[in-house]
């Protein structure tokens, strides 16, 4: 091993310092030119500032130098005319995509925005739009959501899309961590993990990666966590040591040997420990499949214990013993541990008692996958386990967690909603769809009596094949997306919104044929709002519909707004139920396929995912707030059809929320006012 002489190391450090100093001189000149330019000329001066800033931040000490210039940069107009100009409305979860962008200017502006907020958080800059506390809170969220930038080297994808630019976010986050302190990051990360897990998503790999990073932090003597991170123990142990026999994370082979020498009492303790950890967190350790596979040769009673089954699930297990054993052998492996949780919840739902479901699950166990399906699964999840086992894990998870389906970073909310609805309401139909897509590479659905083939359809809503999905969605969504788009094309030329005809044909017979929309399709203006709201209350509000619970989940459309109540776009959701919450507030409970339902829609409309009577995977809002974001709903035209006798005050509250958000620029010339009703 050779070492550099001290004088050589010193000369290298000196050269780096000289380079940084020289770049900072150029940067200061560029900032002055930008500041002096008039507004119309600033876009021409900005590229020089951003390019020099990029080169500075790639050097050691560069981020600190940029932090010191943050106030001058903002005053000069770096953020002018962009979303970054209003830091009080920035959303932490959007930073990930900005920092991964192949566009250097996007990465640089995002980094400069974080450094500006860091200066505010540390009290070095007094900002007119955001307080020190708000800036600190925002940065801890950003750090928690992007913790991988602190510990991970650039991935192959990052290297391909960003090249050397991929080092800039890492330099930034090292600087942020030193200035903010790891203890704040870890606490926020733990809070974020528990918030996501309360929603019980099917895809938990990102969460598992975050928990792994916490474990690395705890084990690193160079990182002082102070008193933080205490709530992480349950999360870390749920993955790496949920029971006494695997407490020290001994490895799968060692644990398998330990099981072989255990008596019934010890096995009982192991089974109970795994079940408790699994149901507490929604996460499954790789050790649990080892135990379950061992127990298939010993005791059904202990399998029920290890799955944490109630009397309902236990009875289902005993009725379908051979099938459950086959599902464990075929789908529950250390590489597919979440299959255990899906199996447990599927048994708890009792859906195997529906006559077609058990035979369909036997078919799934032996389903031959097409070459294309195998390739897609291997490409997305790796080759540590067979594609058939990976798909079976996905099937079990979707049947157990029908409200845990996410659309990923894709415009395929309609397809995700359909999969969720079928898993929730018609599981054997879902299994049929999986068989067609995975085996035949084709799905055929009917639209108004005419067959539509996914292979014959031109294209879908998504322009690219989605990859960031669960195994079932990965295989089925591309087919559904093309069929959904083709149904829309078949409605071209019809007056009104195509969802009127597409939703019932696409989702299922239970989708109401009655249809209401409060936006004029041609003009985009609000239309007949009073009748729309009264009809919604009459159809769904228990006080106005004869206290009739919602029988089947219904498709609906909402106008999504950001934290400033500004319109973002139209989005597909599922109406599940309307009930009083524990505080006697009437709420609408719904399924949102957008991966994380806990969102701030502005004007005090904050979507809840836990604490207000929600079941796993549900989102909820008070009835009035939900109605203010609704723009499409379906109903049964043969049910009670009279408009509800809703008070004018109640409707005015809904209209107020609407006017202050997405309806602000959609008002008809005469404005909106609730009628007195019929």
Q: Is the pLDDT of residue 329 over 90?
A: yes
Q: What is the mean pLDDT of the chain?
A: 90
pLDDT of residue 6: 56
Give the 3-state secondary structure of residue 599. Answer: coil
Beta bridge partners, 600, equal: 606
User: For a pLDDT cut of 70, what percent of the chain falls above it?
Assistant: 93
Q: Is the pLDDT of residue 352 over 60?
A: yes
pLDDT tens for each residue of 4-61: 555 555 555 566 678 899 999 999 999 999 999 999 999 999 999 999 999 999 999 9
Tell me the Ramachandran region of residue 332: left when phi exceeds 0, alpha when psi lies from -120 to 50, beta otherwise: beta
Beta bridge partners, 574, equal: 555, 591
Cα 28 from Cα 663, distance rounded (Å): 44
Whether 250 and 226 have beta carbons less than 8 Å apart is answered as no
Beta bridge partners, 587, equal: 579, 622
Q: Is the pLDDT of residue 383 over 70?
A: yes
Q: Which helix (H) or strand (E) holds 21?
A: helix 6-36
DSSP code, position 633? E
pLDDT tens for each residue of 114-126: 999 999 999 999 9
pLDDT tens for each residue of 619-638: 999 999 999 999 999 999 98
DSSP strand pairing (450-453 vs 514-517): unpaired
Rounded (5°) CA angle 516-518-524: 130
Give the 3-state secondary structure of residue 610. Answer: coil
Q: Give 486-516 as a DSSP string.
A: HHHHHTTT-SS-THHHHHHHHH-TTS-SEEE
- CB-based contacts of 495: which residues, under 8 Å, 6+ apart? none
What b/e readout covers 106-118, taking b as 16+ CB neighbours within 10 angstroms? bbbbbbbbbbbbb
Distance set, CA 472 to CA 308, 376, 398, 433, 478 (Å): 25, 11, 8, 10, 11
Cα 389 from Cα 398, distance rounded (Å): 14
Find, among 282, 279, 276, the residue nearest to 197 by Cα.
Answer: 282
Cα 495 from Cα 489, distance rounded (Å): 13
This prediction's pTM: 0.81
Find, among 218, 265, 266, the residue nearest to 240 by Cα.
Answer: 218
DSSP code, position 591? E
How much is the CA Rg of the chain, to the nearest whole Å? 28
Whether 246 and 285 have beta carbons less than 8 Å apart is answered as yes
Distance set, CA 54 to CA 84, 207, 282 (Å): 17, 31, 41
Question: Between helices 167-180 and 182-197, what is the axis angle to 10°?
Answer: 110
């Amino acid at each position: 091993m050779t070492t550099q002489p001290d004088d050589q190391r010193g000369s290298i450090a000196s050269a780096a310092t000289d380079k940084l100093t020289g770049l900072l001189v150029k940067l200061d000149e560029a900032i002055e030119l930008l500041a002096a330019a008039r507004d119309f000329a600033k876009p021409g001066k900005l590229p020089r500032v951003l390019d020099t800033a990029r080169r500075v931040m790639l050097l050691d000490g560069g981020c600190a130098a940029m932090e010191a210039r943050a106030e001058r940069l903002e005053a000069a107009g770096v953020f002018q005319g962009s979303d970054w100009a209003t830091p009080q409305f920035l959303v932490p979860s959007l930073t990930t995509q900005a920092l991964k962008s192949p566009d250097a200017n996007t990465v640089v502006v995002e980094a400069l925005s974080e450094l500006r907020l860091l200066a505010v958080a540390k009290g070095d800059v007094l900002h007119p739009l955001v307080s020190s506390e708000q800036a600190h809170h925002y940065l801890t969220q950003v750090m928690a959501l992007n913790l991988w930038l602190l510990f991970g080297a650039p991935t192959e994808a990052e290297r391909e899309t960003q090249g050397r630019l991929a080092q800039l976010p890492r330099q930034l986050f090292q600087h942020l961590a030193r200035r903010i302190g790891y203890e704040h990051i870890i606490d926020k990360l733990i809070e974020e993990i528990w918030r996501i897990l309360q929603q019980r998503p099917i895809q938990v790999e990102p969460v598992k990666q975050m928990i792994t990073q916490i474990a690395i932090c705890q084990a690193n003597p160079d990182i002082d966590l102070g008193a933080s991170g205490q709530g992480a123990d349950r999360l870390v142990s749920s993955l790496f040591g949920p029971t006494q026999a695997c407490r020290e994370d001994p490895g799968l082979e060692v644990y398998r040997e330990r099981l072989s020498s255990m008596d019934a009492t010890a096995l009982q303790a192991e089974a109970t420990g795994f079940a408790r950890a699994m149901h507490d967190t929604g996460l499954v350790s790789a050790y649990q499949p080892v135990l379950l596979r061992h127990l298939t040769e010993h005791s059904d009673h202990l399998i029920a214990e290890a799955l944490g089954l109630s009397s309902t699930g236990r009875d289902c297990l005993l009725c379908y013993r051979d099938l459950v054993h086959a599902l464990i052998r075929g789908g529950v492996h250390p590489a597919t541990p979440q299959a255990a949780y899906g199996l447990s919840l599927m048994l708890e739902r009792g859906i195997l008692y529906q006559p077609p479901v058990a035979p369909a699950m036997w078919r799934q166990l032996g389903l031959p996958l097409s070459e294309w399906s195998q390739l897609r699964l291997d490409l997305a999840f790796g080759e540590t386990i067979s594609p058939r086992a990976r798909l079976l894990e996905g099937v079990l998870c979707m049947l157990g967690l029908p409200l845990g389906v996410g659309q990923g970073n894709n415009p395929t909310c309609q397809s995700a909603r359909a999969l969720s609805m079928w898993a929730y309401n018609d599981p054997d139909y879902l299994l049929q769809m999986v068989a067609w897509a995975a085996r035949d590479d084709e799905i055929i659905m009917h639209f108004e009596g005419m067959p539509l083939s996914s292979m014959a359809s031109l294209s879908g809503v998504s322009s690219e094949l989605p990859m960031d999905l669960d195994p079932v969605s990965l295989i089925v969504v591309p087919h559904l997306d093309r069929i959904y788009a083709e149904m829309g094309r078949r409605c071209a030329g019809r007056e009104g919104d195509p969802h009127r005809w597409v939703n019932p044909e696409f989702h299922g017979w239970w989708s109401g044929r009655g249809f209401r929309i409060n936006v004029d399709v041609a003009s985009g203006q609000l239309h007949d709002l009073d009748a729309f709201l009264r009809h919604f209350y009459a159809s769904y509000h228990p006080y106005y519909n004869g206290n009739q619970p919602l029988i089947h989940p219904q498709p609906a459309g909402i106008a999504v707004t950001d934290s400033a109540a500004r319109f973002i776009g139209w989005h597909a959701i599922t109406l599940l139920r309307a009930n009083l919450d524990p505080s006697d507030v009437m709420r609408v409970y719904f399924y949102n396929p957008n991966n994380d339902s806990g969102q701030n829609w502005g004007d005090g409309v904050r979507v809840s995912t836990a604490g207000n009577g929600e079941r796993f995977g549900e989102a909820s809002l008070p009835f009035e707030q939900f109605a203010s974001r609704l723009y499409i709903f379906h109903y049964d035209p043969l049910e009670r059809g009279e408009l509800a006798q809703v008070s004018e005050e109640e409707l005015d509250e809904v209209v107020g929320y609407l006017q202050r958000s997405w309806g602000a620029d959609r008002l008809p010339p005469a404005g909106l006012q609730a009628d007195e009703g019929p």
